[in-house]
Amino acid sequence: MGKASKDKRDIYYRKAKEEGWRARSAFKLLQIDDEFNIFEGVKRVVDLCAAPGSWSQVLSRKLYIPSKLNPEYRNGDRPLIVAIDLQPMAPIDGVIQVQGDITNARTAEVVIKHFDGCKADLVVCDGAPDVTGLHDMDEFVQSQLILAALTIVTHVLRVGGKFISKIFRGKDTSLLYCQLKLFFPRVTFAKPRSSRNSSIEAFAVCEDYCPPEGFNPKDLYRLLERVGSPCGSSDLDCSSAWLEGANKVYIPFLACGDLNGYDSDRSYPLTASADGSYRSLDPVQPPIAPPYKRALELKKASSSHAAAALVDIDVDTLTLS
């Protein structure tokens, strides 16, 4: 799809470039904030699975840049934003980057070190595996990322803090809801207007972190397993009984963002400039080391080999004739 055609079909792709966001995902976080006011009182944040960095940009613009412009802030008091991804990303004002895998304990340790004994007010995670289109598989891999994020949450989030995580809606959504409810009294699944209806993506907005009494982060997996097991413990709010009859859990699900605003599933006409032409903007910041980089290099190499082979043929042909 050409850039202009993508601009026409995806209003948020176009708007992201106009407003200087690295990815259209920025609008998802902004629309979640419109509904849940997630940045209120926030001074320390962890952005998990952050590349290419549009959520980190939102955090920088909402939290760090205003503090820089405010003379009352001294350097040490400025908001702390730590962003983690497998991929490196171009620098963002006020964002500390950690390159690593969130499912790896060592990455979690590096994040914790940056907080130097303090806790975070907010953890966000927009992690997504490379989607295969096989919904069960995608949902499973996604759930592993959420569990890794929850592990980090149980180490760094302060009591009363918030956790926002991308989820894929599927048959295990109720289980995930119950697992999150063990730690957060308020859990809402939200669908921002900028997230396409055709996508199974949604976001769990978990508020007021409150781990069970005596909880030890080492026991996280054991605790989560008990929620899903047929002999789910009666001391938990959610046991396996949530599946059935009167105990069935209804998950709060909310559409968010201006409902009269742009619809991500609609095409919008392009606005021509004074001379009547349309000029598509370049992406704000192309990924600096995307996972497909090697594939592109190989493709380029093979086409230049092909081109070289053509030149050889031409030379041979010339020699022959």
The residues that are catalytic are 166
**Closer to ligand SAM at the Cβ: 57 or 240?**
57
**Closer to ligand SAM at the Cβ: 100 or 170?**
100
Closest CA to 280 of 271, 290, 289: 271
Binding test (CB under 6 A) with ligand SAM, winner from 51, 167, 187, 227: 51
Q: For ligand SAM, what does the binding mask look like between residues 141 and 180, x meaning CB under 6 A?
A: ----x-----------------------------------
Binding test (CB under 6 A) with ligand SAM, winner from 42, 86, 241, 251: 86
List the structure tokens of 153: 């949450």
Residues 211-240 interacting with ligand SAM (rule: CB under 6 A): none
Residue 50 is a binding residue for ligand SAM (CB under 6 A): yes
Residue 126 is a binding residue for ligand SAM (CB under 6 A): yes
- The Cα 44–Cα 111 span in angstroms is 12
Residue 101 is a binding residue for ligand SAM (CB under 6 A): yes
List the structure tokens of 61: 């613009």
Distance of closest approach, residue 167 Cβ to ligand SAM, in angstroms: 13
Binding test (CB under 6 A) with ligand SAM, winner from 32, 80, 81, 102: 102
Crossing angle of helices 135-156 and 220-228, in 10° steps, is 140
**Closer to ligand SAM at the Cβ: 67 or 103?**
103
Distance of closest approach, residue 257 Cβ to ligand SAM, in angstroms: 16
The residues, ordered by sequence, that sit 6+ positions from 165 with a Cβ below 8 Å of its Cβ are: 124, 125, 127, 146, 149, 150, 203, 204, 206
Closest CA to 58 of 74, 76, 73, 79: 79
C-beta of residue 215 within 8 angstroms of C-beta of residue 238: no
- The Cα 81–Cα 97 span in angstroms is 9
Residue 45 is a binding residue for ligand SAM (CB under 6 A): no
**Closer to ligand SAM at the Cβ: 196 or 243?**
196
List the structure tokens of 202: 């949604």
Residue 192 is a binding residue for ligand SAM (CB under 6 A): no
Q: How far is CA 277 from CA 5, 196, 270, in A?
A: 14, 29, 10
**Closer to ligand SAM at the Cβ: 12 or 55?**
55
Residue 85 sits at φ, ψ, to 5 deg, of: -160, 160
Residues that bind ligand SAM (CB under 6 A): 22-23, 25-26, 49-55, 84-87, 101-103, 126-129, 145
